[in-house]
Amino acid sequence: MQNLKYQKGVSLIMVFFIMTIMLSVVLGISTITYSEFKNVRSEGDSIVSFYVADSGIEKTLYYSRNDIPSSPLGVTNGVCNICSACSAREGSCVACEAVGDDCNYCRKCQITYTTTFGDKEFKVLANIFPNGDFYNLDISSKGYYNKTSRAISLQIANKDLSSSVPTIDRSSLRAVRSGTGVTISATITDPDGIASVLAHIRDSHDQNDPDIANTPLERGEGDMFAGSLTLKNGPYFVFIRACDSNGNCGQSISFPIINQ
């Protein structure tokens, strides 16, 4: 009888240990499964955060390239105008600020802003600054979603357009005589804006010779500049000098006046 009671006691202890082991295995598997589930979900949220950050980069580049203000003349980048342009168009650039030594012409400036849409948000820090004959635009964007965040940075180095001279299209150069009147025209472009165009008339190809006459050319349709003057008959040559709003000047080759 005692032996039977002893065997029942041992069986109870063995069942207890087996149940404990099984419970430990189940809890272990549950912990691992939950941890994996959290990791998968976190990776998904992290991917969303990455694309939210990328939206900040793309939005800043859009304004940089497409919202260049017309005033003042000489502005070559729209990123410094993003606070007014974005607020007027979308109202989504929160806490937007542009500070620096030259934000007016967007040569040296730091821009910060935040955009929130739904449960997603990105914060942007953009810096534009001169670097020799180039200007650098550095953009950093950090995206947030469901307690995860990802950051992206982009650096762009472009030719400093403020140091470029006006481009005078050689194929567009015209100087046509009709009686005593001469009409001079050319297509001239410059990203900083054209400030002045002057046509010089001389009796030789030598651009160091003194002017016989000169006349300003005014902007007409598109990038076409034209002017006219009265000039007696003779073999004359013209060269055009154009200056942009920053004082950078360029000149054309000499070309003859032809009869209509």
Q: What CATH number does residue 220 fall under?
A: 2.60.40.10
Nearest CA among 213, 188, 60, 178 for reference residue 125: 60
CB 105 within 8 A of CB 72: yes
Close Cβ partners of 15 (under 8 Å, ≥ 6 residues apart): none
Question: For residues 205 and 239, what is the distance between their CA atoms, to the nearest angstrom?
Answer: 9
Number of domains composing the chain: 2
User: Would you tell me how many other CB atoms lie within 10 Å of the CB of residue 209?
Assistant: 12
pTM for the structure as a whole:
0.51
Q: Is residue 10 part of a domain?
A: no
* Pair 89, 138 in one domain: yes
CB 202 within 8 A of CB 215: no
Query: Rounded to 5 degrees, what are φ and ψ at 100?
Result: 160, 180
Close Cβ partners of 79 (under 8 Å, ≥ 6 residues apart): 60, 63, 64, 106, 109, 111, 126, 128, 137
Residue that finishes a domain, picked among 160, 180, 206: 160
* Pair 106, 210 in one domain: no
Strand 237-244 with 255-256, pairing = antiparallel
Please work out, in degrees rounded to the nearest 5, the angle formed at the alpha carbon of residue 222 by the alpha carbons of 218 and 228: 30
Low-confidence ranges of the chain (pLDDT < 70): 1-13, 15-16, 28, 30-42, 68-76, 87-91, 132-133, 158-164, 207
**What pLDDT does residue 28 have?**
67
Q: Is residue 30 part of a domain?
A: no
Position 196, amino acid:
S
Range of the domain at 106: 43-160
* Pair 146, 55 in one domain: yes
CB 199 within 8 A of CB 237: no
CB 252 within 8 A of CB 185: no
Handedness of CA 116, 117, 119, 120 (dihedral sign): negative
**What pLDDT does residue 46 have?**
85
- CA–CA distances in Å: residue 73 to residues 77, 174, 233, 242: 12, 27, 40, 15
**What pLDDT does residue 53 have?**
94
Nearest CA among 233, 190, 241 for reference residue 214: 241
Q: Is residue 29 part of a domain?
A: no
Residue that finishes a domain, picked among 143, 160, 177: 160
Q: What letter does residue 93 receive in the DSSP assignment?
A: -
* Pair 173, 189 in one domain: yes
Q: Is residue 18 part of a domain?
A: no
Q: Is residue 242 part of a domain?
A: yes
47 three-class SS: helix
**What pLDDT does residue 36 have?**
56
* Cis check: omega of the bond before 72, within 30 degrees of 0: yes
Q: Calculate the CA dihedral of residues 254, 255, 257, 260 and round it to 10 degrees.
A: -160
* Pair 143, 202 in one domain: no
* Pair 139, 180 in one domain: no
Q: Is residue 16 part of a domain?
A: no
* Pair 207, 129 in one domain: no
